[in-house]
Amino acid sequence: MRTPRFLFAPMRTFFALMVAAALAITGLLAPPASAQDVPTPPNENWSFDGIFGTPDLAAAQRGFQVYSEVCSTCHAIHQMHFRDLTGLGFNDAQVKAIASTFTVPQGLDDSGQPKEGPGMPANQFRSPFPNEKAARAAMNGAYPPDLSLIINAREGGANYVYGILTGYADAPTGFTMQDAMNYNRYFPGHQIAMPQPLQDGKVTYTDGTPNTVDQMARDVATFLYWTSNPETTERKQMGIRVILFLVLLTGVTYAVKRKIWSDVH
């Protein structure tokens, strides 16, 4: 008497699972080296960490300066308008002055040709390249990502950005580098197309803060956290008010309960 064919399917599935488990245990199914080589960025302390943490606005303002003088030559922040800078503590006059230092598209002239002029608070930050193809042509095939939401888009957030900016180093002996690539301790695969953007003294801070690579990296990471989460301060302040209201309401409710039931034994 032959075993029915339909009984072989569960048996084959069972044995396949057993073989896969055995291979995984022995390491034969380990992911490729490129998938494993994802270094962990340094774990830094940030002012916006924790339930009640908020961005350090002075650091974020310095970070905006770093972005404007260094990062904006390659990276856009499309989601931001100049008027949004009031959230960093700039007043309307300062925002207007900042916007005027940028050149932005201003429609067409009388002959139908595109024209440009000084920015206004209502304008968006412009991209340094007209399109992705032009960006890749200028950057040896690499495409600089938009930084508006980079902190939320990358695992590790601000630590990732800080790690990349401070992780440039000489390649270890025996490490094979591709052409036009740069070694970075914290970039996946350790090879990044972006040359090291920050050097000590690259930006001159008007408030006298030391302009080291470490400081500039912290400041621009703080600024980019703000661009990714511009409502953080208001949201956390609202949360504090809600918590205080709930604590007060709990106290009042308990007092009313004690009053109502005080004569009940």
Q: Tens of pLDDT along 35-56?
A: 456 789 999 999 999 888 889 9
Is 221 within the bounds of a domain?
yes
**Judging by DSSP bridges, how do beta strands 114-118 and 182-183 pair with one another?**
unpaired
Average pLDDT over residues 236-255: 82
Q: Residues 89-100: pLDDT tens digits?
A: 999 999 999 999
Enter the tokens of residue 97. 């002055």
Is 110 within the bounds of a domain?
no
CATH number, domain with residue 150:
1.10.760.10
What is the C-alpha to C-alpha distance for residues 187 and 191, in angstroms, rounded to an integer? Answer: 7
Q: What SS3 string covers the chain? A: CCCCHHHHHHHHHHHHHHHHHHHHHHCCCCCCHHHHCCCCCCCCCCCCCCCCCCCCHHHHHHHHHHHHHCHHHCCCCCCCEHHHHHHHCCCHHHHHHHHHCCEEEEEECCCCCEEEEECCCCCECCCCCCCHHHHHHHCCCCCCCCCCCHHHHCCCCHHHHHHHHHCECCCCCCCCCCCCCEEECCCHHHEECCCCCCCCCCCCCCCCCCCCHHHHHHHHHHHHHHHHCCCHHHHHHHHHHHHHHHHHHHHHHHHHHHHHCCCCC
pLDDT score at 48? 93
What lies within 8 Å, CB to CB, of 240 at 6+ separation is 52
Q: Residues 187-199: pLDDT tens digits?
A: 999 999 999 999 9
Is 223 within the bounds of a domain?
yes
Are 218 and 161 in contact by the 8 Å Cβ rule? The answer is: no
pLDDT of residue 126 exceeding 60, the answer is yes
Is 190 within the bounds of a domain?
yes
Is 53 within the bounds of a domain?
yes
Burial of 43 (C-beta count, 10 Å sphere; 0-12/13-18/19+) = exposed
Is 210 within the bounds of a domain?
yes
CB atoms within 10 A of CB 35: 10
Angle at 181 between CA 179 and CA 185, to 5 degrees: 140
- Number of structural domains in the chain: 1
pLDDT score at 199? 96
Residues of the domain holding 220: 46-80+125-237
What is the C-alpha to C-alpha distance for residues 231 and 241, in angstroms, rounded to an integer? Answer: 15
Is 3 within the bounds of a domain?
no
- Give the confidence band of 18 by pLDDT, cuts at 50, 70, 90: low
pLDDT of residue 241 exceeding 80, the answer is no
- Give the confidence band of 108 by pLDDT, cuts at 50, 70, 90: confident
pLDDT score at 19? 46
Average pLDDT over residues 10-32: 46
In terms of Cα–Cα distance, which of 67, 63, 57, 121 is closest to 88? Answer: 57
Q: Tokens 């440039």 belong to which residue?
A: 168
Is 15 within the bounds of a domain?
no
Q: Residues 215-226: pLDDT tens digits?
A: 999 999 999 999
pLDDT score at 118? 92
What is the C-alpha to C-alpha distance for residues 140 and 150, in angstroms, rounded to an integer? Answer: 22
Q: How far is CA 62 from the centre of its chain?
A: 17
Q: Residues 152-167: pLDDT tens digits?
A: 999 999 999 999 999 9
pLDDT of residue 9 exceeding 50, the answer is no
- More confident call, 163 vs 130: 163
- Give the confidence band of 262 by pLDDT, cuts at 50, 70, 90: confident
Query: How many residues belong to the chain?
Result: 265
